[in-house]
């Protein structure tokens, strides 16, 4: 049987592929001669790859490698078989796989097949750094910078030629083992070029490999989740056309993780595919993260079950595969998934157990990841101030390195870190790019600590921020625009009728509708978007999906504080206090001139006072007297006659042993009420004063 050329199509050899698969699936004993005869006929890359697309063949890979080592000239006669066999056996027998790949690399070099040689060397590098990192010690060509640069140059030279299936396979292997990681710009160019060439090639297992590797790269390095999803869907179409078995499973695994990272609840149709086992090193690396994600979040109905599933998976080294020994960035990704599931100790264990591989992924990246996940843990426990301090430096270093992805497989972690980054003064444009690329959503729609594209402040001095930059406004003509903004903010997401808004701003003047149209046009210009202000069915409103307002955020936050009363940990209470006091900056602009806005302001003010009072009482219950005093003082800014605030200050000062200050608060309250309202303090305040010894029962105050 003659050996076909390397350009032979798969269709011509489909029968040989099936026969070889059946022979190999039986194992080497008793069928070695027949299998070798078949392999001699199809020793070219893609047909052999199809043979190993079947799990039963992969399961026999270690046994076949053992037989190969006893056969003379095995690498010369069956180089591609040995290549795929070594990759499949890498998980179970990394040392033998390494020896076979080294022999295959030499054989390809002797033939002058430089692309194949680079592919074998990448596979060898991947095994030594992922499946068996201990084996990498002492390998001069791996640890030596010159050897690494040589391999990088060889790979880039090979990839610069006309794209073909084997070059796609090389590109996938290079991304998997991190050969191109030292030069981000060149790596990005190569990825973009090979992505663009996909439509010129027929479907093959190599195109599936590239789509998966490229999608994984887009997620972890650029944060481009939409691009990753498009590549994975293309890979699914190719896998379906080829009837690729493991191909479909591993693509679905990664697609599930990408969809979840994008906040989608839509999963691939077959749940079993999410945890599809594989004997191949690259399949395991690409599938484990999605499998963990599925276990943690997709198949657990409640948090208790989710935590139990996470613990079960974490100790099941067989199902985790090479993620246990993988590169640092994979460990970081899995740690972030664990952290998002609430498994903070497990996340720390993943990072603590990382082995710094020989590809130059330094200690700084790992340390920064640990600090960022520590910030997430602190934020989750309500310790916002500590969280901001923890993430400030690593986020700035992350931005300085030009990294455009932030824990892409853990979107809740990433979104919280973005909010903390705003508070920490991190690079604003970089944070907004992270949000756009990863499609992140604000963890709390009430928080100003988020890079909203449009932020409108109507409490206190009116301000508008576009992309984090304050809009500079001058001229009296803007007065009506600010008033319109305040009216629409007070109206909330449901808005108000055009007639109502026109009557509020222009009263009975001539042509109020025309004046409203002009003001809407100017407000849209101020907010930088025609979609920011919507006019629909006679109603006018701010687009709540585009425009964040401090008034609406304050109302939502106060409602949550007062209605839920959910804060038990003092750290959570303090976090809500910081949030509340950041939002409330005083009364609404133009409330004095617009009676309806004044009524809304009064309602919001009452909710603020109720929420602030509740938080202060909770801090008092925890013994945080200084924190409670801080709230009571802020309550006196908008309402200097609030006896509730004065009584709180009296209690806090007394608890701290400062009776003189406590008495001064009482005296100031009493004198202010007498001067402004011409009345004495309320019975509650008088009773507290008597309990503290400032008043004799039914008698005068102490001097």
Q: What is the dihedral of CA 144, 149, 150, 153, to 10 degrees?
A: 170
Helix (H) or strand (E) holding 516: helix 512-527
Instruction: Give the three-state DSSP class for 687.
Output: helix
Alpha-carbon span 86 to 383, nearest angstrom = 50
C-alpha closest to that of 204 among 161, 234, 159: 234
Tokens standing for residue 83: 């290549």
> Under the phi-then-psi rule, with left for phi > 0, alpha for psi from -120 to 50, and beta for the rest, what region is 675?
alpha
C-alpha closest to that of 610 among 586, 575, 587, 642: 642
Alpha-carbon span 123 to 87, nearest angstrom = 7
Q: Are 519 and 501 in contact (CB under 8 A)?
A: no
Alpha-carbon span 443 to 449, nearest angstrom = 10
Q: pLDDT tens across 615-671, in order?
A: 999 999 889 999 999 999 999 888 888 899 999 999 999 999 999 999 999 999 999
Domains of the chain by residue range? 11-235, 327-438, 454-549, 551-691
Q: Are 582 and 537 in contact (CB under 8 A)?
A: no
Amino acid 7: pLDDT: 39
Alpha-carbon span 108 to 114, nearest angstrom = 7
DSSP code for 157: H
Tokens standing for residue 281: 């090193």
Radius of gyration of the chain from its Cα atoms, rounded to whole angstroms: 33
Which positions of the chain have pLDDT values less than 50?
1-12, 134-143, 267-276, 299, 315-325, 356-361
Q: Are 289 and 323 in contact (CB under 8 A)?
A: yes
Alpha-carbon span 82 to 43, nearest angstrom = 10
Alpha-carbon span 332 to 334, nearest angstrom = 6
- Does the model's pTM come out above 0.85? no
Same fold flag, 11-235 and 454-549:
no
Alpha-carbon span 395 to 403, nearest angstrom = 10
Q: Which residues of 626-635 are buried (b: 16+ CB within 10 A; e: fewer)?
A: ebbbbbbebb
C-alpha closest to that of 438 among 466, 415, 465: 415
Instruction: Give the three-state DSSP class for 68.
Output: helix
CA–CA distances in Å: residue 76 to residues 40, 79, 338, 634: 11, 6, 46, 82
CA–CA distances in Å: residue 377 to residues 340, 343, 348, 386: 9, 10, 11, 10
Alpha-carbon span 220 to 200, nearest angstrom = 26
Q: Are 281 and 130 in contact (CB under 8 A)?
A: yes
C-alpha closest to that of 333 among 321, 319, 323: 323
> Nearest 5°: phi and psi at 693?
85, 15
CATH number, span 551-691: 1.25.40.10
C-alpha closest to that of 283 among 54, 10, 20: 54
Alpha-carbon span 561 to 380, nearest angstrom = 17
10 Å CB burial of residue 355 (0-12, 13-18, 19+) is middle
Alpha-carbon span 52 to 158, nearest angstrom = 25
C-alpha closest to that of 678 among 641, 626, 624, 636: 641
CB atoms within 10 A of CB 515: 16
Amino acid 315: pLDDT: 47
CA–CA distances in Å: residue 497 to residues 306, 519, 535, 675: 48, 15, 9, 44
Looking at 1.25.40, 3.90.25, 2.60.40, 3.40.50, the CATH number of the domain 11-235 comes to 1.25.40
10 Å CB burial of residue 391 (0-12, 13-18, 19+) is buried
Amino acid 356: pLDDT: 47
Amino acid 374: pLDDT: 95
> Nearest 5°: phi and psi at 541?
-160, 160
CB atoms within 10 A of CB 416: 27
Assigned CATH topology for domain 454-549: Arc Repressor Mutant, subunit A (1.10.10)
Sign for the CA dihedral angle at 602, 604, 610, 613 comes to: negative
Q: What residues contact residue 379 under an 8 Å CB cut-off, 6+ apart?
A: 387, 416, 420
């Amino acid at each position: 049987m003659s050996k076909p050329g390397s350009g032979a199509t798969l269709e011509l050899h489909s029968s040989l592929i099936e026969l070889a698969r059946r022979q190999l699936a039986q194992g080497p004993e008793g069928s070695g001669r027949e299998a070798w005869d078949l392999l001699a006929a199809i020793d070219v890359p893609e047909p052999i790859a199809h043979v190993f697309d079947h799990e039963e063949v992969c399961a026999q890979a270690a046994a076949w490698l053992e037989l190969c080592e006893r056969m003379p000239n095995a690498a010369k006669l069956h180089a591609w078989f040995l290549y795929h066999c070594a990759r499949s056996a890498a998980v179970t027998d990394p040392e033998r796989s390494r020896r076979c790949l080294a022999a295959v690399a030499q054989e390809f070099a002797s033939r002058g097949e430089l692309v194949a040689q680079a592919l074998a060397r990448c596979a060898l590098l991947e095994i030594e750094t992922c499946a068996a990192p201990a084996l990498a010690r002492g390998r001069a060509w791996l640890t030596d910078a010159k050897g690494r640069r040589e391999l990088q140059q060889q790979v880039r030279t090979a990839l610069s030629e006309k794209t073909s299936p084997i070059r796609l396979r090389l590109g996938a292997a290079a991304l998997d083992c991190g050969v191109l990681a030292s030069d981000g710009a060149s790596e990005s160019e190569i990825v973009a070029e090979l992505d663009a060439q996909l439509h010129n090639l027929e479907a093959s297992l190599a195109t599936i490999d590239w789509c998966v590797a490229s999608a994984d790269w887009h997620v972890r390095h650029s944060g481009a989740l939409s691009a990753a999803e498009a590549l994975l869907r293309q890979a699914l179409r190719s896998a379906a056309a080829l009837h690729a078995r493991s191909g479909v499973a591993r693509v679905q695994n990664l697609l599930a993780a990408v969809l979840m990272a994008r906040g989608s609840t839509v999963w691939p149709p077959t749940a079993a595919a999410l945890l599809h086992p594989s004997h191949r090193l690259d399949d395991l690396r690409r599938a484990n993260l999605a499998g963990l994600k599925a276990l943690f979040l997709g198949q657990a109905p409640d948090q208790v079950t989710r935590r139990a599933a996470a613990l079960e998976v974490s100790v099941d080294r067989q199902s985790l595969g090479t993620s246990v020994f993988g590169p640092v960035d994979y460990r970081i990704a899995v740690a972030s998934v664990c952290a998002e599931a609430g498994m903070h100790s497990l996340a720390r264990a993943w990072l603590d157990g990382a082995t710094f591989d020989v590809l130059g992924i330094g200690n700084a990246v790992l340390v920064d990841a640990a600090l960022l996940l520590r910030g997430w843990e602190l934020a989750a426990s309500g310790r916002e101030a500590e969280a901001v301090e923890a993430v400030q430096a690593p986020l700035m270093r992350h931005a300085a390195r030009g990294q455009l992805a932030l824990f892409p497989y853990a979107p809740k972690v990433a979104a919280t870190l973005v909010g903390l980054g705003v508070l920490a003064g991190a690079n604003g444009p970089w944070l907004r790019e992270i949000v756009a690329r990863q499609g992140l959503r604000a963890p709390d729609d009430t928080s100003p600590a988020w890079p909203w594209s449009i932020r409108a402040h109507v409490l206190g001095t009116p301000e508008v921020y576009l992309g984090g930059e304050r809009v500079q406004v001058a001229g009296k003509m803007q007065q009506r625009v600010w008033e319109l903004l305040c009216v629409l903010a007070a109206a909330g997401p449901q808005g108000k009728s055009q007639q109502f808004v026109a009557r509020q701003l222009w009263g009975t003047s001539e042509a109020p509708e025309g004046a409203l149209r002009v003001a809407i046009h100017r407000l849209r210009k101020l907010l930088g978007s025609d979609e920011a202000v919507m006019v629909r069915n006679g109603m006018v409103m701010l687009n709540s999906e585009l425009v964040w307002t401090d008034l609406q955020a304050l109302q939502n936050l106060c409602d949550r504080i007062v209605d839920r009363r959910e804060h038990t940990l003092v750290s959570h209470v303090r976090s809500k206090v910081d949030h509340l006091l950041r939002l409330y900056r005083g009364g609404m602009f133009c409330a004095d001139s617009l009676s309806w806005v004044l009524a809304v302001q009064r309602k919001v003010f009452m909710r603020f006072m109720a929420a602030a009072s509740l938080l202060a009482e909770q801090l008092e219950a925890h013994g945080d007297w200084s924190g409670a005093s801080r709230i009571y003082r802020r309550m006196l800014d908008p309402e200097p006659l609030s006896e509730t605030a004065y009584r709180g200050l009296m209690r806090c000062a007394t608890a701290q042993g400062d009776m003189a200050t406590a008495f001064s608060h009482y005296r100031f309250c009493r004198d202010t009420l007498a001067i402004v309202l011409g009345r004495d303090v309320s019975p509650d305040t008088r009773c507290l004063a008597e309990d503290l010894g400032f008043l004799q029962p039914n008698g005068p105050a102490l001097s």
